[in-house]
Chains A and B, each alone.
Chain A
Amino acid sequence: MVLQAELDRRKFLTTSTRTAGALVLGFYFPLRGRIQEPESGASLRIFKPNAWLRITADNQITVLLEKPELGQGSRTYTPMMIAEELEVDWPAIHVEQAPTIPSIYQGLRTGGSGGVASTFTPMRKVGAQAREMLITAAAQQWKAKKRDCRAENGTVVHGPTNRRLGYGELVEAASELPPINPDEIALKPPKDFRYIGKPMPRTDVPSKVDGSATFGIDVRVPGMLFAVIARCPFFGGKLQSFDASAAKTIPGVRAVFPVPPLPRRFNTAGGVTIVADSTWAAIQGRRALVLKWDKGQGGNESTETLRKLIVERAAAPPTFVAVDRGDALDVLAGSAEKLEASYESPFQAHATMEPMNTTIQVRDHEIEVWSPTQFADEVQKEIAELSGLPLDKVIVHMTLSGGSFGRRYQWDYAAEAWQVAKEMKNPVQLLWTREDDMQHDFYRPYNYQRLSGGFDDRGNLVAWSTRVVTTPISGSNLYTGFIESAVTLKDPATVAALEWYGADIAPYSIPNVRLDYAPADSIVPRSWWRSVSSSYTVFAKECFLDELADASGRDPLQFRLDLLADKSPQAARLRVVLELAAKSAGWGKPLPKGRARGLACRSGESCSAQIAEVSVDDEGAVRVHRVVSAVDCGIAVNPDGVRAMTEGAINFALTAVLSGEITIKNGEVQQSNFHDYQVLRIDQAPTVEVHIVPSTEDPSGVGELGAMLLPAAVVNAVFAATGVRVRRLPIDPKLLKRSHPLSTRGGD
């Protein structure tokens, strides 16, 4: 069921973007690129075995990368996979972003923690195909048997005579050969890996310590202008009128004009744009605008009204029953001991360090786009559709992105940039200021879960139910007739799939389980946020499990292990990470006074367990000192990358636990910058230890994994420290003050 849900989610992500298969299998047969690629001159001096690899006569090896680099390491793990089979020295490899040629490159995107998993086999084949062709070319030149030749450090070696030819010397001959079918080449077994599984230095790091790395915001095109948009601050509202006379007097302001909202899948708010000689002039011009907005139909929504609605929906009939094993509701009603609790977490912003931006040059019959996106192929399609140009006349350069966490899965900002640039002769960079970015995000859904658990008269946990209520990601398009009501959506299973994933208690063995879903309408745009629904479903599930452990007087670790006693492979994997984390963190061993540990785990394509060590001061402020994480992600292609992602995901989630919260008043976001949406800073960051389970299984993702577990691990540790159950995030310190009536810390 868990795997099915993940497949459903992937399917949704894939079909929702109108391209088949891209995320799961997403890769083309490597031969195809060679056949279809347009010829460029002097091709004989460059060996192009397929669309992803170039080898020049002077031994320059270039990897053409489909996945964007958002910080997750695609510019490192991809060349590792290719180099592994190509048999070349690491420093010889250069990485370039593949161009938007949809007939060849069909995976110019990443998401769902799927980058490594979806490229692991195809990219090794890319390297293997080139290697075999180079070996064939050398064997022909030597008139030797191919089986007597092998590849080694960028050369082909003839074993019997020890003759050698460098790859560069073989470029011309290899280019004349017919392609070798990569499916007929055996890939290396894991025991022979030279790069995969070793911590490799990131290829993008040097450019990120000297300022030379080019993010979207750094794109500079001759003659370019800079723009900002004053957007309607009210979701679902619109521009009533504006007066630009003062704005036009600001030195450097070139143009001021209205930009209508776009009725696209990922909507834009619409407003008034200022185009200027510099970003600063554009910002100054915007400040001088006089704007009147119509609040529209969302003008009455506030966080308070939404909470009330969401609690009501928790008792309403479900629109979808996701899991119904055994007879959970009846068994719960008749159980010897029953526990109930509700967990809640609010809208969250992505707040990437690089705010949204895109640079566009509109020419007579062609549009060139530079965008920090995780979805270049969708940007290309969107702008082709908007402009009426054929796809191949829209060129999209996928720049480095300054973080994403799911935000750059939307292409609203690229569409807006086109709206501005099409009115100008010069190329234009549209920049979102931090305030724009904070107030016009697509937020993590608001969510509320009601959980029940029942024990039989021997103390066995025999029944479990969860009601998940969210403002679902589906149905959050404001401008197709205001908002498609999430409550009446025609395909409730698809709506629910993105909302309840992670809530199933499997592989914990509980005989009677019910999991259902009810949506709540909201005007606020929502979308994917690092770990999506698992960011809140795992929180509620793993905290409630702790409540049940406590109610039955058992240790949280042992309670979980007892529920994982069966022989299923998922239960076995989860036991391994639980025991590894427990051993590494010293579970059960004494801690300094005032500190306590909490535990959470999660089973999916990747499995992990986390143990957080916290203290709570007299004022109720929570400090997380240390987080120990055990990770089973199959083969850890770049173990240092797995560590970095885990460190990052844990701290990303910690913002949502300690401080992050987006609130709504009269249809607009109340936060605007880092003073009122406070993100984690270095002085709050715990020490993170990552322990990777050795594996020869194919790799699975880790970009989101650490973020799912951290909230429950911390909140369970807070209970261990204070005796107070926190059931709403971010943690309200008032609940944890030493003087609070619930706190059991009075005596120590």
Chain B
Amino acid sequence: MSNIAITVNEKRCLIDATPDTPLLWVLRDILGLTGTKYGCGLGLCGACTVHLDGVAVRACQTPLGSVGTKRITTIEGLSSDRSHPIQRAWIAEQVPQCGYCQSGQIMQAASLLAKNPRPSKEEVDEAMSGNICRCATYQRIRRAIQRAAGQNA
């Protein structure tokens, strides 16, 4: 074990874990940030999506030792009051059902809009196709992203 420094939601944290520990379990089991979800452990479902310097990554495929000085943002740090345009759009479109995958969906969508403020339907589908929702809220996810894109403009 060794102490590894990372920055999560603008807070500096010293983590006592091996460098190969996936960031997902550091967030959930050590830091108690349970908004980031475990879904598959293989980067197949997107439930664990967080941002590294604003870019969506799968926390289950991100070893602690690879993070370095990059800023980690989790769903808890996206906004302090659900005011991010994606969160507002998610509420307006009533996207979640069970809600389990939605942290990952929201982080993926926020990353998409940061890069591409006005994505087409095809670009939305492409960017979001790594995030599984078994309740299949897909149609509302599309609508919410388009709504948020309008707000961004």
Contact = CB atoms under 8 A, between A and B. Distances in A.
B131 A682 contact: yes
B29 A208 contact: no
Contacts of B22: 280
B91 A647 contact: no
A210 B75 contact: yes
B132 A353 contact: yes
Interface residues of A, number: 61
Given A354-B37, A434-B41, A208 B132 contact: no
Given A220-B34, A647-B137, A226 B82 contact: no
Contacts of A682: 124-125, 128-129, 131, 133, 138, 141-142
A293 interface: no
A673 B40 contact: yes
Contacts of A354: 37, 39, 98, 100
Contacts of B115: none
Interface residues of B, number: 61
Contact of A217 (B32, B34, B45, B79): B34
A674 interface: yes
Contacts of B34: 211, 214, 217-218, 220
Interface string B22-35: 10010011101111
Nearest to B1: A251
B18 to A, nearest CB: 7
> Which residue of B30, B78, B99 has the most chain A CB atoms within 10 A of its CB atom?
B99
A433 B40 CA distance: 7
A209 B91 contact: yes
A647 B95 CA distance: 11
Interface string A185-211: 000000000000000011011111111
B132 A681 contact: yes
Interface in B12-66: 17-18, 21-22, 25, 28-30, 32-42, 44-45, 47
A70 interface: yes
Contact of B21 (A71, A280, A687): A280
A115 to B, nearest CB: 14
A226 B41 CA distance: 16
A72 B134 contact: no
A303 to B, nearest CB: 23
Contact of A71 (B41, B74, B135): B135
A651 interface: yes
A353 B101 contact: yes
A492 B114 CA distance: 60
A205 B76 contact: no
A210 B102 CA distance: 9
Given A251-B1, A279-B28, A652-B136, A211 B74 contact: yes
B41 A211 contact: no
B146 interface: no
B47 A433 contact: no
Nearest to A251: B1
B97 interface: yes
18 contacts: A71-B99, A205-B99, A209-B82, A210-B76, A218-B34, A220-B32, A220-B34, A279-B29, A280-B29, A351-B134, A353-B45, A353-B101, A402-B37, A433-B41, A434-B45, A647-B139, A681-B132, A683-B126
